[in-house]
Amino acid sequence: MSSPSKHILLLGPAYPYRGGLAAFNERLAYALQDAGHQVTLITFTLQYPDFLFPGKTQYSEDAAPEGLAIERKINAVNPFNWWRVGRELRKRRPDVVIAAYWMPFMAPCLGTILRQLDDRHTQRIGLVHNIIPHERRPGDQLLSRYFTAASDGFMTLSTSVKEELADFSAAPVRTSPHPIYDSYGARVNPTVARQHLGLDADGRYLLFFGYIREYKGLELLLEAMANPMIRKSGVKLILAGEYYGNQEKYETLMETLGITDLVIAHTSFIANDEVRYYFGAADLVVQPYKTATQSGISQLAYHFEKPMVVTRVGGLPEIVPHGEAGYVIEQDAEELAVSVLDFYQNERTESLGKGVRKEKQRFSWSTFVETLEQLF
């Protein structure tokens, strides 16, 4: 049963910003509205200074999402703005303010805004994607403590983050898995998807999707692609996503391993309306991460009903049951190659696909909202 209607402000990335966090917040706003709440997204006028942003652009080229109230107010690097926005939001007397937290860089602005709110009237909830960042820097823990000290409770998307939060705060925590990303269109028949991308209709394709960052372990997958049995099997890798790191490093590795002809690179940002074709074309989605908490890529794979290979890190094993919805492996290129070969040689498409369709029922937005409402 949903809680009584609340006036909710959701702080974090949203349109016109692009990427998984913006997509998550927008989809959560829809789900909260469906549950009867009044929701306003409060996003950034400046999210990252250009010199700190590793990609080509922070902004979406898509149309604004319909049916959402989105206000651009927060300047992530201007302390005067944090005080002003916090006091402005205080005057609105919201019942709940949910602040999305994913990296310590955002702790000063979000923590300061939360501190301006009237905690006698407004409940302050931290929606914590990561409390300890994948790519760590000095001062991370101090900054995260500044954010957590301003929150009355927390929502996490994995038990690993919940356990890490215990070192930062004794406030109540609720956990529910990252729901399915179902806002990228319907599934596409593999033949149609491959034709759209100019691929062989009868080919065998793995998919690495999303921003290419150091912690995502792409080199492990590239090393697996160099396995002689992989080459013999005719498997190719679709590399789809923008480099957020050392592009030259990965391209040099492909050349050194002699696998350039096995990699189909689409290394620019993938527009929302193109996502379904990449997942439609793939047989298996590979996430060879070095560290992880949860992953929106897994939830895209569930939406498009694709089996996965994930490494045994963070919350990924919670999301992908081994042998049912895919493979859970150690961070080992040979084990990754063995899993891929098993998938094709033993024709696991149907059995693992059935497991994916069963597991995806766990990841509804309504369940996520019901868990979140326990903190209200």
Residue ranges for the chain with pLDDT beneath 70: 1-3, 50-56, 134-135, 292-294
Q: How many residues in total does the chain contain?
A: 376
Domains 7-175 and 190-362 share a fold: yes
State the fold for domain 7-175: Rossmann fold (3.40.50)
What does the pLDDT read at residue 1?
47
Question: pLDDT tens for residues 162-216?
Answer: 999 999 999 999 999 889 988 888 999 999 999 999 999 999 999 999 888 888 9
What pLDDT digit, counting tens, does each position of 213-228 carry? 888 999 999 999 999 9
- Count the Cβ atoms, other than its own, within 10 Å of residue 25: 25
- 3-state SS assignment for residue 13: coil
Structural domain spans, the chain: 7-175, 190-362
pLDDT value for 132: 82
- Residue 287: which H helix or E strand, with range? strand 284-287
Taking the C-alpha atoms of residue 219 and residue 332, their distance in angstroms, rounded to an integer, is 11
In this prediction, residue 211 carries a pLDDT of 85
CB atoms within 10 A of CB 209: 23
CATH of domain 190-362: 3.40.50.2000
User: How far apart are the C-alpha atoms of 94 and 124, rounded to whole Å?
Assistant: 10
- On whether the pTM is more than 0.85, the answer is no
CA 341, 346, 349, 352: dihedral to nearest 10 degrees? -90
